[in-house]
Amino acid sequence: MIDSLFRPRGIAVAGASRHPTKPGHQVLHNLLAAGYPGQIALVHPAAQSILGVPAYPDLEQVPTLVEMLILAVPAATTPAMAEAIVRRKRARGDLAVVVSLAGGFAEADTEEGREMQEMLAAACREAGVRLLGPNCLGVLDARNRLDTTFLTGNRRDASGVSLLSQSGSIVSWITRECQALPFPIGLNKFVSVGNMADLSLAELVDCLGRDPSTRTIGLYLEAVPAAQPLLEAARRVAIRKPVVVLKSGRTAPGARAAFRHTGAVNDDSPLDDDVARQYGMLPVSRVDEFVTTLATFDRLPLPLGNRVAVLTNSGGAGVYTLDALVSRDIAPAQLSPSTAAALRSLLPPFAVVGDPDGYVDSGGGVGPRQTAQAVAALLRDPGVDAVVQLFVPTPFNSAEDMARDLLRLLPGIRRNSLAKPLFPVFLGGREVLPARRLLEENGMMTFASPEGVAAALAAMLRYAWARQRLAHALMR
Amino acid sequence: MIDSLFRPRGIAVAGASRHPTKPGHQVLHNLLAAGYPGQIALVHPAAQSILGVPAYPDLEQVPTLVEMLILAVPAATTPAMAEAIVRRKRARGDLAVVVSLAGGFAEADTEEGREMQEMLAAACREAGVRLLGPNCLGVLDARNRLDTTFLTGNRRDASGVSLLSQSGSIVSWITRECQALPFPIGLNKFVSVGNMADLSLAELVDCLGRDPSTRTIGLYLEAVPAAQPLLEAARRVAIRKPVVVLKSGRTAPGARAAFRHTGAVNDDSPLDDDVARQYGMLPVSRVDEFVTTLATFDRLPLPLGNRVAVLTNSGGAGVYTLDALVSRDIAPAQLSPSTAAALRSLLPPFAVVGDPDGYVDSGGGVGPRQTAQAVAALLRDPGVDAVVQLFVPTPFNSAEDMARDLLRLLPGIRRNSLAKPLFPVFLGGREVLPARRLLEENGMMTFASPEGVAAALAAMLRYAWARQRLAHALMR
């Protein structure tokens, strides 16, 4: 199934349109723009071709291979479509996946909507064809140049991050936030599951678990009608790949809006953050933290332990960040005496070193070179597993100078740090963006907020700990 | 005191330096760059002048008026400075405020640091002079063109937002975030209180309460050694002006770092969010929410009640936003039957109208003009006090088109809405920035995240409610 969904050997689109404002036009346009390498055919009552793609009045008459059928037609056409699916499969045997985009099914909360959805699902079952949706954006696979969605702005060069979502449109927000990162993250795969009349989140989590190019999985959930299979799938996968979860519909009005969105209601044991953690998933609570955490897993090495050091050139930002880390149960490191001594000789007399544990406030007057050396000293300390470096520009130290000195010391830092993760946080809105880009283009990830670091680091520590626990269990 | 602090009629700087990397240079440079209209003199053992400002070897010899003395000298010079302060005051009688910038006082947690701070404070008391700091950035008053801080990047055209902060450096992060808004917010006044050896947060809150150009007050707190006077001052002021509070040092390591930052420890009853609310303050928990809330108070009218309607073109963003609002106790509006009917005729058949209460999901295919009309219909509803409009760009609707249609309908919306606040949330990172700027430059505030709206709206509703409660009490 994974091949037919992500790498279909031929596609037919029903409902393609000449009119640029119609979804049926955008789907075809996106499919072509993505550079889909297989053959595309259209099912259209009248047209000979649209955008250069040949059209046929009936699905059965499409002469080329149709492994995937994309339905961009209104829900009301379901009876005809259901028949066409069964006939095509009988006549040609090629159809494997139907992707149904339109709304107006179970989520409309009408008798007719529910009937149409059941009719479509029954036809697919009868034909032995898998159904994605209805009421979804379909599927995107950047590596295989497949894109049935309306999403715009996903970079084609894929990261290791793949996404499953109960909402299509929220992903167009999420992909834009991914693109707005100083080092943009392009989604590897994305499946919008819609009403889940057949293909479920659980099955797709297993798919992505087996997909070698997916290294990190993001789940956007609203209401999960059958949570147990999803939880079991997550438990299987979460030991090999981080599964980061953002769950909406936590309040009563939110849950009602979620039902009107995808027709789904939570089952008796709602998938809350505690339950997600029990099954090895990594819950986050905000879109910005979701994006930062996914990007961090994609770009930074895992810490080997939970001892975190914080270096700051701003006392206030340091206090604020300690709160953010500690309130997520991130433990401060204890600096070794030699690290503390090295920092004291490097930094001015009023610098705060190791008070509280793992905390270094250099003061605002310290130059970028000394700061970079302090970062290196912290990374070298065997009692430190990760370093958070906070930088606020001062009249004495520009963000660009800081970035340049970090880059100059980077090879040494990398050699000495045994691939420990470094979290440089450049605080100061747009002004620090050029400095962040300089670092990111040279392979260092940077962060815009202490909360983003805290969310990503907490997820990383939880994941690293779960893996170590498994390794320990396996070695006994 | 407020005049001497914000509008001193003459300034002397001790510790000014020719070297651009020295704080004593930056202070003088900033003071000149701000365009301070009064006379400045320097106290310097050797120089005739620096940056064109005349220097004298001793404070007593400065011939011009010195209402404010800025100490940019190390803590170790305190004995000499203490004597000079007393002598100047006796000889000339002009000195009213001393601003002490250097660190190395009580926050250094040394016997010597504590002694120096007490010596400086005692000299000021003896001379009848007020002391700001030590260990602070001093004071900025954009309207009076006074800036003793190292801050860069605060726009000189002032908003109604003034800030008091226990951290200097965090404000250089905050001002940069204020400048990164599509419509930048310049601080009106800013006082960095440092170690508070004399001038306290409580007294300064009262000052800003009486300042006519300050319409909104922001407090950044770390550890408040004597909370009760501050709470009482806040209670007096918070009924006339919103007092938004961001408190760090909430965790044990954070509180310890706060002590090493300003020498302050919380008193027995720490100023937590519940206590702040009891005294009429408006707590927020993140820097981004702090900035958004301050800007919102500065730019949007207060809602007259707490009935909020949400319009979205993305189901997922809608669910997510309902959660963010409801979890902050923001109540959904109940749409009137005529508003619901108008929306149903305006929007496509699958749009969700008023299910749950106050929630409208137009679907992603609806055009900007219809969306703007739906916004207008919601604002017109007498049962709606505020409208949150969520917009995610789609292939059918660009953010720029959405912004243009909102602007076209704006005069009508304004006429019909009785100045109800509208919260347009444009979701999509950098891509939506041009559209947001178009709206902001034409007088409409926009938002980047549902959480920002929820934080600002919750603060507004709490403030509006507190004022109404007072009005009610006064009219009995």
CB-CB under 8 Å, A320 with B169: no
pLDDT in tens, B134-162: 999 999 999 999 999 877 666 667 899 99
Q: pTM of the predicted model, to two decimals?
A: 0.94
Q: HSE-up of B110 (CA within 13 Å, CB side)?
A: 13
CB-CB under 8 Å, B252 with A356: yes
CB-CB under 8 Å, A170 with B359: no
CB-CB under 8 Å, B166 with A316: yes
pLDDT at residue B281, rounded to an integer: 95
| B374: closest CA of chain A, how far (Å) | 18
């400002």: which residue's tokens? B53
Q: Pick the residue from chain A with its C-alpha nearest to B321.
A: A254
| A182: closest CA of chain B, how far (Å) | 11
Considering chain A, what percentage of its residues have pLDDT values greater than 90?
74
pLDDT at residue A429, rounded to an integer: 84
pLDDT band, residue B365 (cuts 50/70/90): confident
Tell me the CATH number for domain B301-466.
3.40.50.261
Q: Pick the residue from chain A with its C-alpha nearest to B27.
A: A395
Rounded CA gap, A194 and A170, in Å? 12
pLDDT at residue A156, rounded to an integer: 64
pLDDT at residue A158, rounded to an integer: 83
- CA B108 to chain CA mean position, Å: 28
Q: Pick the residue from chain B with its C-alpha nearest to A429.
A: B177
pLDDT in tens, B274-296: 999 999 999 999 999 999 999 99
Kindly tell me if the per-residue pLDDT of B128 is higher than 60. yes
CB-CB under 8 Å, A168 with B249: no
Lowest mean pLDDT among A255-264, A299-308, B456-465: A255-264
pLDDT at residue B154, rounded to an integer: 65
Q: Burial-class residue A474 by CB neighbours within 10 Å (0-12, 13-18, 19+).
A: exposed
pLDDT in tens, A128-183: 999 999 999 999 999 999 999 877 666 667 899 999 999 888 888 999 999 889 88
pLDDT band, residue A269 (cuts 50/70/90): low
Kindly tell me if the per-residue pLDDT of A72 is higher than 80. yes
Q: What average pLDDT does this structure show over B174-203?
A: 93
pLDDT at residue B357, rounded to an integer: 95
Rounded CA gap, B233 and B236, in Å? 5
CB-CB under 8 Å, A173 with B428: yes
pLDDT in tens, A38-68: 999 999 999 999 999 999 999 999 999 999 9
Contacts of B314 in chain A (CB under 8 A): 167, 169-170, 172-173
pLDDT in tens, B223-234: 888 889 999 999
pLDDT band, residue B268 (cuts 50/70/90): low
pLDDT in tens, B382-437: 999 999 999 999 888 899 999 999 999 877 666 655 689 999 999 998 889 999 99
| A135: closest CA of chain B, how far (Å) | 11
Q: What average pLDDT does this structure show over B48-71?
A: 96
Q: Pick the residue from chain B with its C-alpha nearest to A153.
A: B431
Kindly tell me if the per-residue pLDDT of A365 is higher than 90. no
Q: What angle do CA A434, A435, A438 make, to 5 degrees?
A: 85
pLDDT at residue B167, rounded to an integer: 87
pLDDT in tens, A373-431: 999 999 999 999 999 999 999 888 899 999 999 999 877 666 655 689 999 999 998 88
Residue among A257, A320, A449 minimizing CB distance to B356: A257
How many inter-chain contacts (A to B, CB under 8 Å) are there?
251
CB-CB under 8 Å, B169 with A254: no
Kindly tell me if the per-residue pLDDT of A450 is higher than 60. yes
pLDDT in tens, A232-253: 999 999 989 999 999 999 999 9
pLDDT in tens, B6-29: 999 999 999 998 888 788 888 999
| B183: closest CA of chain A, how far (Å) | 13
| B302: closest CA of chain A, how far (Å) | 24
CB-CB under 8 Å, A315 with B177: no
**Mean pLDDT score of chain A:** 92
Residue B19: count of CB within 10 angstroms of its CB: 9
pLDDT at residue A460, rounded to an integer: 97
Tell me, yes or no, if the two domains A151-299 and A301-466 fold the same way.
Answer: yes
pLDDT at residue B155, rounded to an integer: 65
Contacts of B431 in chain A (CB under 8 A): 153, 176, 179-180
CB-CB under 8 Å, A104 with B173: no
Q: Which CATH number fits domain B1-135: 2.30.30.30, 3.40.30.10, 3.90.1300.10, 3.40.50.720?
A: 3.40.50.720
Contacts of A319 in chain B (CB under 8 A): 167, 222, 248-249, 254, 257-258, 261
pLDDT at residue A43, rounded to an integer: 96
As assigned by CATH, the class of the B151-299 domain is: alpha beta
Give the CATH H-level superfamily of domain A1-136. NAD(P)-binding Rossmann-like Domain (3.40.50.720)
Kindly tell me if the per-residue pLDDT of B39 is higher than 70. yes
Q: What average pLDDT does this structure show over B297-319?
A: 94
Q: What average pLDDT does this structure show over B91-101?
A: 96
Contact of B317 with A256, CB cutoff 8 Å: no
Residue ranges covered by each domain of chain B: 1-135, 151-299, 301-466
Residue B59: count of CB within 10 angstroms of its CB: 23
Q: Which amino acid makes up residue A469?
A: R
Q: What average pLDDT does this structure show over B197-216?
A: 96
pLDDT at residue A262, rounded to an integer: 77
CB-CB under 8 Å, A359 with B257: yes
**Mean pLDDT score of chain B:** 92
Reduce the DSSP state of residue A410 to 3 states and report it.
Answer: helix
Residue among B173, B179, B392 minimizing CB distance to A314: B173
